[in-house]
Chain A
Amino acid sequence: MMSDTLRVNPINCTGHGVCAELLPELVSLDEWGYPIVDPSPVPAVLDREARRAVAACPTLALRLLKSDQPAAPAARPARRAPAW
C-alpha cells in the first residue's frame, strides 16, 4: 500500500486550525483548538485534499508520512513508562 498517514508535530503546531477547515473528513479540533487527526491511512479519494492541508499549514506542523514507516499505531492502550 502506498497510502500515507497524517501526523502533527505538536511542538510546531500552534492551533491555527487551517487543517481542520481544509480536511474536516480527517481532522477535527479539540476544545482548545488543536487538531486531532485520523491515524488511519489517508484514503485515495482524499489524497489531494490531504496534500493541500499539509501545504497550507502556517507552521509546517502537519506532515504526510509513508505508511510503511513505523508510525505510532492508532489508539493502542498506553502502558509504557516515559522513554528515558
Chain B
Amino acid sequence: MTATLNESVHGGATRQAGGLPRLLPPAPEDLRGHVARYGQTPYRGQTGLLIGDIEASGLTGRGGAAFPVYRKLAIVARARGRKVIVANGAESEPASRKDELLLRVAPHLVLDGLQLTAEAVGATEAHLYLHTAPSPEILRALAERSARSVDMLQVTVTQAPPRFLAGQESALVNHLGGGPALPTFAPPRVTERGLGGAPTLVQNVETLAHIALIARYGPRWFRAAGTSAEPGSMLTTVYQPQGHCQVVETEIGAPLRTLLPSGGETQAWLVGGYHGNWLPLPHATSLTLDNAALRQYGAAVGAGVLVALPSDRCGLTEVARVTGYLAAESAGQCGPCLNGLPRIAAGLAELAGRGHRKQVRADVERWAGLVTGRGACSHPDGTVRFVRSALTVFAPEISLHARGQCSATNRRPFLPLPDGIPTSEDDWT
C-alpha cells in the first residue's frame, strides 16, 4: 500500500471542541508565522517552574508509554551538574508517520518545547534524534532560530539507524554516545545515568510540542480536550481499508468509530501499532481512544497507530509478515527474545499457510508465554501482545487455513513495513 500524508485533513478542518487542531498548522510554518500564531518562546527564567504546570496539565508521554511527563522531568531537575535533554523523533514504528509530519509542519513548536523543557530541568546539552536525515523544514527552522538567537541551548541533530528499537530510550542514549542503538538493562534508568553518565531526559517530539503549548496557554486550556484521566489531544496515524493513511489530531477519549470505519469493507482494527492489539468487530465499535477504555481489552493507545484491516486480505498472512519483521528486529541480546521470536514468527508463517500441523497454535502460545516479561526492553512483550490478540481475532481464519482454505481475495500486502529489512549487525550503528 502507499502511505500518503494528507496535510489538508488538519488545515482545512474546522476547529473542533477543545480548539483542535492544536499542533498542526494548515501549512508548514516558518519562524515568523510561528511567532505570529503563538508568540515568542515563553521562557520562565528559572529551573523547575514549568514542571508544576506540566503536572497540573496531566500530560502523558506521546511516544507510546503514556508515562506522566512531569515525573521524568522532576527526576532530572533534581540532579546536579551536566544534564542532557533529547527530543526523540526516531519514530521507528514503521506504521507511524505522525512525528515525521509534526516535524515538517510545526518544527518550531517541537523546538520551543525542547528549549522550554531544557530550561525546566536545567539541561546543559540538547539533542534532536531523527529516523531519517533532517528534512529541509527542520534544517531551516534550526537556522532561523540560530540567526534570531531564540534558543538557550544549541541543538545537535543525530540520525537514528533504521531499526525498530532505535528509538527506545536506552538504545537512543547508546547511539548518541557513539555506540550501537541497542537497549540496555534498567536500572539504572537514563534519567539517572544516561548520555556519558549524565542524567538524560528523553521526550517524544509530540510531547515537547504539547509542552510548548502548555507553557503558553496553561494546564486548564490543555485539559479542555481529552478525558480527566488522560487530558489533551494526540496525533494518530490512521490507515483506511482503501489503503491510504492520514495523520489526524484527535481528542484522547474520542470514539474509535469516528476515526476508523467498521462496515463490511473492514474485518478488524489494530490499535497501537505493531506492539499493539487487534480488536474484533463489531465488538470494538463501542470503544474510545484512551487507555482507561482500552485496558479492559488488554490494549493501549501506544503511539496512536490505528488500522482498519480490509476484509479482502488474510489477517493471518498480514500478522505473519509483520511478526517476521519484529523477530528480525530483535536486538538479539536476551536469550528468550532471540530464541522465542523467530519460533513464534515461524509458527505464524505455518498458520498463515495451508494445512498446518495441529500443535502449531499451542506451540506459539507456549513460546509467547516464555518470552513475556523476560527481555531488557519491551520488544518481546509488545510482539506477544500483537500475536496473541491476532490468534484470538483471526481464530476463524486459522480454522479455514487448517482445512486448506483462505478467505482472502486480495494478496497484496497491506500493513506497511520498511523496504529491505536490515539484518547485519552493522545496521545498529
Per-residue CB contact flags for chain B residues 365-377 toward chain A (1 = under 8 Å, else 0) read 0000010111111
Question: Which B187-225 residues have C-beta < 8 A from chain A?
Answer: 202, 204
CB distance from B378 to the nearest CB of A (A): 4
Q: Are B373 and A80 in contact (CB under 8 A)?
A: no
A30 CB-CB contact with B under 8 Å: yes
CB-based nearest A residue for B183:
A11
CB distance from B68 to the nearest CB of A (A): 13
Number of A-B residue pairs with CB-CB distance less than 8 Å in the complex they form = 94
Given contacts A10-B333, A30-B336, contact A84 B64 (CB under 8 A): yes
Distance of A79 Cα from B79 Cα, bound (Å): 31
Contact of B64 among A9, A32, A34, A83 (CB under 8 A): A83
B184 CB-CB contact with A under 8 Å: yes
Which chain B positions have C-beta within 8 A of A77? 298
Question: Which B383-401 residues have C-beta < 8 A from chain A?
Answer: 384-385
Q: Are A81 and B302 in contact (CB under 8 A)?
A: yes
B382 CB-CB contact with A under 8 Å: yes
B167 CB-CB contact with A under 8 Å: yes
Q: Are A32 and B379 in contact (CB under 8 A)?
A: no
Distance of A28 Cα from B420 Cα, bound (Å): 39
Q: Are A15 and B335 in contact (CB under 8 A)?
A: yes
CB distance from B141 to the nearest CB of A (A): 24
Distance of A12 Cα from B301 Cα, bound (Å): 32
Question: Which A35-84 residues have C-beta < 8 A from chain B?
Answer: 36, 72, 75, 77-84
Which chain B positions have C-beta within 8 A of A82? 64-65, 168, 275, 302, 377-379, 382
Q: Are B185 and A32 in contact (CB under 8 A)?
A: no
Q: Are A10 and B169 in contact (CB under 8 A)?
A: no
Distance of A70 Cα from B336 Cα, bound (Å): 23
B63 CB-CB contact with A under 8 Å: yes
Q: Are B272 and A81 in contact (CB under 8 A)?
A: yes
Distance of A84 Cα from B273 Cα, bound (Å): 13
Which size class do B's interface residues fall under?
35 or more
Which chain B positions have C-beta within 8 A of A32? 335-336, 339-340
CB-based nearest A residue for B164:
A82
Given contacts A81-B301, A83-B65, A83-B169, contact A14 B335 (CB under 8 A): yes
CB distance from A76 to the nearest CB of B (A): 8
Distance of A27 Cα from B65 Cα, bound (Å): 30
Per-residue CB contact flags for chain B residues 172-187 toward chain A (1 = under 8 Å, else 0) read 1000000000001100
Distance of A15 Cα from B379 Cα, bound (Å): 20
Q: Are A78 and B372 in contact (CB under 8 A)?
A: yes
Q: Are B335 and A10 in contact (CB under 8 A)?
A: yes
CB-based nearest B residue for A10:
B334
Per-residue CB contact flags for chain A residues 1-39 toward chain B (1 = under 8 Å, else 0) read 000000011111111000000000000001111101000
Which chain A positions have C-beta within 8 A of B340? 32
Q: Are A81 and B168 in contact (CB under 8 A)?
A: no
CB-based nearest B residue for A80:
B300
Q: Are B65 and A11 in contact (CB under 8 A)?
A: no
Which chain A positions have C-beta within 8 A of B66? 80-81
Which chain B positions have C-beta within 8 A of A31? 370
Q: Are A11 and B184 in contact (CB under 8 A)?
A: yes
B237 CB-CB contact with A under 8 Å: no
Contact of A11 among B169, B301, B303, B333 (CB under 8 A): B333
Q: Are A81 and B336 in contact (CB under 8 A)?
A: no
Q: Are B335 and A81 in contact (CB under 8 A)?
A: no
Q: Are B295 and A79 in contact (CB under 8 A)?
A: yes
Distance of A33 Cα from B370 Cα, bound (Å): 12
Distance of A79 Cα from B66 Cα, bound (Å): 12
CB-based nearest B residue for A72:
B373
Given contacts A10-B185, A79-B299, contact A84 B65 (CB under 8 A): yes
Distance of A36 Cα from B340 Cα, bound (Å): 14
CB distance from B289 to the nearest CB of A (A): 13
Per-residue CB contact flags for chain B residues 339-375 toward chain A (1 = under 8 Å, else 0) read 1100000000000000000000000000000101111
**A-B CB contact pairs (8 Å), 30 listed:** A8-B374, A10-B334, A10-B336, A10-B374, A11-B334, A11-B376, A30-B370, A32-B340, A34-B335, A34-B339, A34-B374, A72-B373, A78-B298, A78-B372, A78-B385, A79-B299, A80-B66, A80-B300, A81-B65, A81-B302, A81-B303, A81-B382, A82-B65, A82-B275, A82-B377, A82-B379, A83-B65, A83-B67, A84-B65, A84-B202
Which A residues contact B (CB, under 8 angstroms)? 8-15, 30-34, 36, 72, 75, 77-84
Pairs of residues from A and B, 4 with the lowest C-beta to C-beta distance, nearest first: A81-B302, A10-B334, A34-B335, A32-B339
